[in-house]
Structure 1
Amino acid sequence: MIHNILFKRILPFSVLLASVAGCSVPDTTPVARWQHAEEGAFAADVSADGQYSVVSGVNNGINVWHTNHTKPLYQWSHQGDGSNLVVQVHISSDSRYVVTSDREAFALWSLESGEPIGFWRIDESTIRDVAVSNRGEGILVGRSNGKIMYFEPSSGRRLEFLGHQEKINSIDISPNGKYALSGGNDYMAYLWSTDTGQIIHTFAHGSRVTLVAIDDKGRYAFTTDSTRKSQIWNVQTGAPVSNLKYIARQKIFTDAVFSEDGRYLLTGSPARRMNLWDVESGELVGEWRVAARKNKSPPTAVVYGVGFVGSDKILSESSSGLAELWTLPDD
C-alpha cells in the first residue's frame, strides 16, 4: 500500500559552491570539474540531454545542477530538516521531472519549477530502484520482495508486475511510459507492458542481473549480470545485438545510457571507471577514470550517473561528490 503525503515547498538553494582545484586524476584529465557534494554523494543522475544533474549529497540534501553552473538551481529534501537518506534518483527522458527515493518513500518533482508534485510512502518491502517517464506520467518502483509497481500520479492507477521471483536490482522505463525493463536476483531481465503487465521479451542470464537500461529511441536494451554477460539487445525483436567485450572475469556497472545516434553505450562502474562501447560490435572505444574522494584511503569512487553532452562531451557524477566533464575520442 502507498500513502500520499503532502509536504511544504522547499525553496531554491542559493549558496555558491566553488570548483575543485588541484585534485589529480590518474590516467585521464577532465575538461572541467565541479564540487556538487562536499562530503560525497549517495546517488546521482544525469539528464538525457546532459544539461542537468540531480545529486543526493551526504551532508547537503538533494541538489539540482545545470551543467557548467557553479551553484544549484534547487535544493530538495525528503525528510525536512532530518538527515538525507535518498539513495535513488532518476530524471525523465524529457528532462522535466525527477523521481527520488529512500528505502521507504518516493517523491516526484518538477525540474522546470523546482516544486514537489507528490510524496508517497510504501508499507510493503523496501525500495530498490525507481524510474519516471516523460511528463511525470508514470513511475516505476522496484522492491526487495521481487514486485515492481507501475504508478500514475495523476490518476492513481497502479499495476504490479509479478514476473520476478527474487529481489529487484534495477529498472528502467521508456520515455512514453508504455514499457518497462527490469532485472533481479532471479537471473532474469524482462521487457514488459505497463498497460497489461504482460512480458514482451525475456532476457536470461547466468547470474543475478545487476543493471538494465532502455534506449530512449526504442532501439536497444542493455542488461548485465554479476559475472561475464553484458548484453545489448534489439528491443523490437528481442534478439542479441552484441556482448560487451572485456577481459575481466567480472565487471559491475552502475549506470548506462545510449547515445542519441545509437552508435555508443556509455557506462559507469564502482571502480571509478567510465567506458564507451560500440553498440554493434561490443568493442571498448574509450575509457575515463573519475576522481576519488579527497583524503580517503583507499582512493575510491562509484560512478553514479553518466550522460552525453552535445556531440563531443560526456559528464560523470560520482560518490566523490564531483561532476566531471570529459571529451569524447575522435571518430
Structure 2
Amino acid sequence: MRHTFTSLFIALVLAGCNSKPLDSWQLVDNGVLTGAFSPNGQLTLIGTLYQGGAVWNSRTTNTLFRWNHQADFYTDIESVAFSADNRVALTADRYTLVSWSTETGEAFGYWRAPAEISAVALSRNGEFAFVGMEDAQISKFNALLGGVETTMFHQGPINDLAMSANSNRLISGSEDYTAKIWNSESGELLLTLPSENQVTKVAISDNGQLALTSAPSEPVLIWAIDGKRAIREINLGINAALASAVFIENDQRLLLGMRNRQVHLYDIAADNIVKTWQLPGDSAWAVNTSRDVIAVEKSGDFILALVSDGQLHLMKE
C-alpha cells in the first residue's frame, strides 16, 4: 500500500495547510503533560507539571474544577481519560490514579498502581479503569469497589490505551512492536497487530470494528479488527509524527493531531485528507516550544484541538 503516499501528498496540498482556527484560548501557561476532551467535546481536561489537573468548559473556557491527588499538594498529572458517557474522568500521576465525577468534581476512587503508570482508559460508565504500566502490564481496576479484576500482558512497556465507546474492546500500544486488541470484559486477547517499530499511539472506533496504530517513521495504519487486516495506510511524510487521533462521524472519518501543530481531517472511505489546519504557535502565549496536538475531538459542527503549550483551538470544516 506504499502507493498511497503520492495521492495523500497531493490531497494535503489541495486541502490547504494555511487553514486557521476560528478562535484560540490560552488555558494554562506551561508545563502541560497530557490532555483529553470528553467524547462530546464539552469538557477539556489538562494534566500539568506542578499544577495538578483542571477541567474547563470547552466552549466558554470557564474553569470548572481543579484536581490534585492530595490535599494542599500539587500533583504532576501525567495521564487522563474520560468515560464515554462523559460522567467520569480519570487522572494519574506516576503511581496513583483517581476517578472523579465530572458533574460534581468530587473524587470517588483512589488507587495505587503496582508499577509506573504510562497510559489510562475508562469503560463507558466509568465503572472500570484500565491502567497501562512500564512493566508491560495492563490492570483492570474496579473503580467502584476497588481491586484488580484482571491483568493483561505485553512484552514491553505500554505506550497508549484506548477504549471503544461501547466498552467491548480495548486497544493497547507497546514498545514490543505490537498493538493488541482485548475483550475488555474478560481480558481475553482477540488480536495482535504487528508493527515495524514501537507503537506510540492507538485509537479504536466507537463500535470496536476499526483500529488505528502509529509508530515512529512508519505510516499510520487503519485496521479492520474482525477482518484481521490493515485496510488503509496513511503516509503523512517523513518528518510527520502522530500525537493524537479519534474516530468521528459514525467512524467514517478520523481527526489526526500531529506533533507539528497540524490537524488533519481524514475520510476513511475516500482514503484522502479532506482538510488540514495549521495551528498558530508564534503568539505571546507560547512561552515554550511545545508543538504537539495532544487531543482532538469533534463537538457539534466544530472541531477542537488542544496543544501541549496549553492552547485550545476551535475550528470549523
TM-score of the superposed pair, with normalisation by structure 2: 0.87
Say which of 64, 67, 76 aligns to 1:76. 67
Aligned residue identity for 1:276: L
Structure 1 stretches of 4+ with a deviation exceeding 4 A read: 295-299
- 1:273 matched to 2:262? The reply is yes
Per-residue CA deviation, residues 209-264 of structure 1 (Å, 9 max, x unaligned), is 11111111333111111121311112332232211132x22532121101132221
What are the within-5 Å matches in structure 2 for residues 240-259 of structure 1?
A: 240-246=230-236, 248-259=237-248
Pair 1:296–1:257, CA change in 2 (3 A): closer
Pair 1:315–1:296, CA change in 2 (3 A): closer
Report if aligned partners of 1:241, 1:279 keep a CA contact under 8 Å in 2. no
- Could you tell me how far 1:281 is from its partner in structure 2? 4.3
- Could you tell me how far 1:291 is from its partner in structure 2? 3.1
Pair 1:298–1:109, CA change in 2 (3 A): closer
Report if aligned partners of 1:291, 1:322 keep a CA contact under 8 Å in 2. no
Pair 1:58–1:69, CA change in 2 (3 A): farther
Say which of 219, 222, 239 aligns to 1:229. 219
Per-residue CA deviation, residues 163-220 of structure 1 (Å, 9 max, x unaligned), is x111111111223433210111111111011333221122111111111111113331
- Could you tell me how far 1:110 is from its partner in structure 2? 1.0
Whole-angstrom distance in 2 between the partners of 1:211 and 1:71: 30
Q: Which moved more, 1:259-268 or 1:125-134?
A: 259-268
Report if aligned partners of 2:203, 2:245 keep a CA contact under 8 Å in 1. yes
Q: Which moved more, 1:261-270 or 1:179-188?
A: 261-270
1:88 paired residue number: 79
SS in 2 for 1:209: coil
- 1:289 matched to 2:278? The reply is yes
Whole-angstrom distance in 1 between the partners of 2:286 and 2:102: 33
SS in 2 for 1:135: coil
- Could you tell me how far 1:32 is from its partner in structure 2? 1.7
Whole-angstrom distance in 1 between the partners of 2:177 and 2:251: 27
Whole-angstrom distance in 1 between the partners of 2:56 and 2:254: 24
- 1:189 matched to 2:179? The reply is yes
Report if aligned partners of 1:159, 1:194 keep a CA contact under 8 Å in 2. no
Whole-angstrom distance in 1 between the partners of 2:73 and 2:24: 29
2:42 paired residue number: 51
SS in 2 for 1:73: strand
Whole-angstrom distance in 1 between the partners of 2:178 and 2:242: 17
Whole-angstrom distance in 1 between the partners of 2:185 and 2:50: 39
SS in 1 for 2:54: strand
Pair 1:196–1:58, CA change in 2 (3 A): closer
1:129 paired residue number: 119
Aligned residues: 299
Structure 2, gaps ≥5 residues long: 1-16
Whole-angstrom distance in 1 between the partners of 2:137 and 2:239: 27
Report if aligned partners of 1:307, 1:315 keep a CA contact under 8 Å in 2. yes
Report if aligned partners of 1:291, 1:301 keep a CA contact under 8 Å in 2. no
Whole-angstrom distance in 1 between the partners of 2:144 and 2:109: 10
- Could you tell me how far 1:298 is from its partner in structure 2? 7.5
2:8 paired residue number: none
1:198 paired residue number: 188
Pair 1:80–1:285, CA change in 2 (3 A): same
TM-score of the superposed pair, with normalisation by structure 1: 0.84
Whole-angstrom distance in 2 between the partners of 1:57 and 1:197: 31
Per-residue CA deviation, residues 120-153 of structure 1 (Å, 9 max, x unaligned), is 112x321110011121111110011111111122
- Could you tell me how far 1:316 is from its partner in structure 2? 0.8
1:3 paired residue number: none
Report if aligned partners of 2:50, 2:76 keep a CA contact under 8 Å in 1. no
Q: Which of the pair is proportionally richer in strand?
A: 2
1:209 paired residue number: 199
Whole-angstrom distance in 1 between the partners of 2:183 and 2:266: 28
Report if aligned partners of 2:264, 2:275 keep a CA contact under 8 Å in 1. yes
Higher relative contact order (CA 8 A, sep 6+): 2
Q: What RMSD over aligned residues (CA atoms) do the two structures have, in Å?
A: 2.1
Say which of 298, 302, 315 aligns to 1:308. 298
Aligned residue identity for 1:65: W
Structure 1, gaps ≥5 residues long: 1-25
Pair 1:295–1:111, CA change in 2 (3 A): closer
Per-residue CA deviation, residues 8-62 of structure 1 (Å, 9 max, x unaligned), is xxxxxxxxxxxxxxxxxx9343112222113352211011111111112346431
